[in-house]
Amino acid sequence: GDIAVFTKLLKVPKGDRSYMTTDVLLALDGTDKPEELLYVITSPPQYGQIEYVSHPGIPITSFSQMDVARQIVCYVH
Distance CA 36, CA 33 (A): 6
Number of domains within the chain: 1
Threshold 0.85, pTM exceeds: yes
Handedness of CA 62, 45, 9, 50 (dihedral sign): positive
How much is the pLDDT for 33?
87
What pLDDT digit, counting tens, does each position of 5-15 carry?
A: 999 999 999 99
Burial class (CB in 10 A: 0-12, 13-18, 19+), 21: middle
pLDDT, averaged across the chain = 94
Q: Which of 19, 60, 56, 20 is nearest to 41 (CA)?
A: 60
How large is the average pLDDT for residues 10-31? 94
Give the domain range for residue 10.
4-76
